């Protein structure tokens, strides 16, 4: 089980990644960060809790919302 502090840390890393590489699939985010897909899935709500506005397009690519 992944701890809340780990999920918060991963969420911040997702935010940092999406500022430099927008519009990534969840699996691409996981690969770039060296994390499992399931960890990314659980961390995405934490990213939004940190104040990030995320958007997902029709192909499933995640980016920072305007």
What are the tokens at 15?
Answer: 């935010």
Per the structure, the complete domain to which residue 40 belongs is given by 4-64
Write out the chain's pLDDT in tens, 66 residues: 579 899 999 999 999 999 999 899 999 999 999 999 999 999 999 888 888 899 999 999 999 997
Q: What is the DSSP string of 1-47?
A: ---HHHHHHHHHHHHHHHHHS-SB-HHHHHHHHT--HHHHHHHHHHH
pTM: 0.90
Return the CATH number at 24: 1.10.10.10
Tell me how many domains the chain contains: 1
């Amino acid at each position: 089980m992944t701890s809340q502090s780990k999920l918060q840390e991963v969420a911040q890393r997702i935010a940092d990644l999406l500022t430099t590489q927008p519009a990534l699939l969840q699996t691409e985010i996981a690969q770039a960060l060296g994390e499992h897909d399931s960890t990314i899935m659980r961390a995405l709500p934490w990213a939004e809790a940190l104040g990030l506005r995320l958007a997902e397009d029709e192909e499933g690519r995640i980016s920072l919302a305007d």
